[in-house]
């Protein structure tokens, strides 16, 4: 069975969804994420969906469930990288992803988690003029 990997980066768990979210894959991801939140003590979850052409009601519900489970385990979830066409289709379908926070990309997602969790002490210097940018993740 295919499995979506969960990557730990500092105090954040990063998930990049690229494969079709069938029932088993979605359930496995929920389980893996919950496990990793508990074993690592991470307080932030970022789910990147930039590879998805379509977000249907099942995927929407899966994301909402993941966000709720994470919240219960004291972690915040941000969905990032939604394509414009996906956003338009979602709203046309009447799916507005209630209870899910979104950001344009991973860096803005990290920033959003930092703002809502000041104790994470995540500073983020997103100066596009410079070749280098800075992210500071600290406990």
Alpha carbon distance 71, 116 (integer Å): 13
Distance CA 74, CA 121 (A): 16
Q: How far is the CB of 5 from its own copies (least distance, A)?
A: 5
Residue with tokens 């074993």: 39
96 vs 116 by CB, closer to its own copies: 116
Of 26, 29, 33, 48, which one interacts with its own copies (CB under 8 A)? 48
Map residue 26 onto helix, strand or coil. Answer: helix
Task: Spell 20-37 as b/e; 16+ CB within 10 A means b.
Answer: ebeeebbeebbebbbebb
Establish if 7 lies at the interface with its own copies (CB under 8 A): yes
Smallest gap, in angstroms, from Cβ of residue 98 to its own copies?
25
Q: Does 22 bind its own copies (CB under 8 A)?
A: no
- Binding part of the chain for its own copies, among 28-36, 43-51, 58-66, 88-96 by CB under 8 A, reads 43-51
User: For its own copies, which is the closer residue by CB, 116 or 133?
Assistant: 133
Contact 92, 60 (CB under 8 A): no
Determine the Cα–Cα distance for residues 43 and 59; give it in Å rounded to an integer.
23
Interface positions with its own copies (CB under 8 A): 2-5, 7-11, 14, 16, 18-19, 40-41, 43, 48, 50-51, 81, 105-107, 110, 125, 130-139
């Amino acid at each position: 069975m295919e499995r979506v990997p969960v990557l730990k980066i500092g105090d954040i768990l990063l998930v990049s969804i690229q494969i079709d979210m069938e029932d088993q894959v979605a359930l496995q991801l929920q389980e893996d994420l919950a496990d990793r939140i508990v074993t690592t003590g991470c307080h932030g979850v970022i789910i990147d969906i930039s590879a998805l052409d379509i977000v249907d009601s099942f995927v929407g519900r899966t994301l909402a469930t993941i966000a709720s489970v994470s919240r219960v385990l004291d972690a915040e979830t941000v969905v990032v990288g939604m394509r414009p066409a996906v956003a338009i289709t979602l709203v046309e379908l009447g799916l507005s992803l209630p209870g899910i926070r979104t950001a344009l990309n991973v860096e803005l997602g990290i920033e959003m988690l930092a703002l809502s969790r000041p104790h994470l002490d995540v500073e983020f210097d997103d100066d596009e003029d410079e070749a280098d940018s800075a992210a500071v993740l600290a406990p």
